[in-house]
Amino acid sequence: MEMAATESKKVLIVMMFAVMLVRETQAAKKHIVGGSQGWDESSDFRSWASSQTFRIGDQLVFKYTPGLHSVVELAGSSAYDKCDISTATDSKSSGEDVIKLTKPGTRYFACGTLGHCEGGMKLKITTVSEAATNASPSPSSSDDSPSSSMSSTGSTHLMAVLVMILINIMLIRGGGTS
Ligand SMILES: [Cu+2]
């Protein structure tokens, strides 16, 4: 009886860890726009955006030297294509601007400094709904190797399977000892 009790305690602890890990993989992420280069003219925002998965609850963080750049949110795709900053719906200039992604859909950002948007400082991101992320997203084309797309969704699935196995073990042991 004592053996069984400590054994199921161990299983419980492992299970709690597994649940925490699953939670961790689904937790909100902070996306540093442009990666290590940040919100800068030298960054390639198109390829950066395609390397990320934006989920509801995630945050965009624009890091730059205040005064040199700014962040404006544009109304739509035509303003984005034309770099029409006059349509800006929101403007930020702190140098570390945080934008929360609250709903699915596409959002458009640009630098408010004259000429910078035309020079490539613009960003288009699409936030996916939670349901869409579970059904493995297919980020566009070339640089998406099968192994990299497997790693995030794969580990989440693995953890889910592990939790199921552990729950089964618990139930079997519980049924056997009582
Ligand atoms: Cu700029």
Instruction: Quote the pLDDT of residue 43.
Output: 95
Cα–Cα distance for residue pair 13/159, rounded to 1 Å: 14
- Cα of 108 vs centre of ligand 1, distance in Å, is 15
**pLDDT per position as a tens digit, 115-174:** 999 999 999 999 998 644 444 444 444 444 344 334 444 556 666 776 676 767 677 776
163 falls within a domain: no
Instruction: Quote the pLDDT of residue 136.
Output: 45
Q: Report how many domains make up the chain.
A: 1
- Cα of 106 vs centre of ligand 1, distance in Å, is 21
- Cα of 90 vs centre of ligand 1, distance in Å, is 16
- Cα of 26 vs centre of ligand 1, distance in Å, is 32
39 falls within a domain: yes
Q: What range does the domain containing 72 cover? A: 30-128
Query: pLDDT confidence of 7, banded at 50, 70, 90?
Result: confident
Ligand 1 (ion): residues with CB under 5 Å are 69, 111, 113, 116, 121
90 falls within a domain: yes
Instruction: Quote the pLDDT of residue 26.
Output: 63
Q: What is the mean pLDDT of residues 8-28?
A: 70
84 falls within a domain: yes
Q: Say whether pTM exceeds 0.75.
A: no
Average the pLDDT over each of 20-24, 106-110, 139-143 and give the range with the smallest value.
139-143
**pLDDT per position as a tens digit, 24-67:** 556 789 999 999 999 999 999 999 999 999 999 999 999 999 99
- Exposed/middle/buried for residue 121 (C-beta within 10 Å: 0-12, 13-18, 19+): buried
- Cα of 69 vs centre of ligand 1, distance in Å, is 4
Query: According to DSSP H, which parts of 31-129 are helical?
Result: 45-50, 77-82
Cα–Cα distance for residue pair 75/87, rounded to 1 Å: 6
Instruction: Quote the pLDDT of residue 38.
Output: 98
6 falls within a domain: no
C-alpha separations of 152 from 31, 58, 90, 155, 163 in Å: 16, 16, 33, 6, 17
Q: Which residues contact 136 (CB under 8 A, 6 or more apart)?
A: 149, 153
- Cα of 7 vs centre of ligand 1, distance in Å, is 59
Q: Which residues contact 158 (CB under 8 A, 6 or more apart)?
A: none
Decide: 54 and 125 in contact? Cβ < 8 Å.
yes
176 falls within a domain: no
98 falls within a domain: yes
Q: What is the CATH number of the domain that holds 72?
A: 2.60.40.420
C-alpha separations of 90 from 46, 59, 74, 107, 111 in Å: 21, 16, 8, 12, 11
134 falls within a domain: no
- Whether 77 has a pLDDT exceeding 90, the answer reads yes
- Cα of 64 vs centre of ligand 1, distance in Å, is 9
- Cα of 120 vs centre of ligand 1, distance in Å, is 9
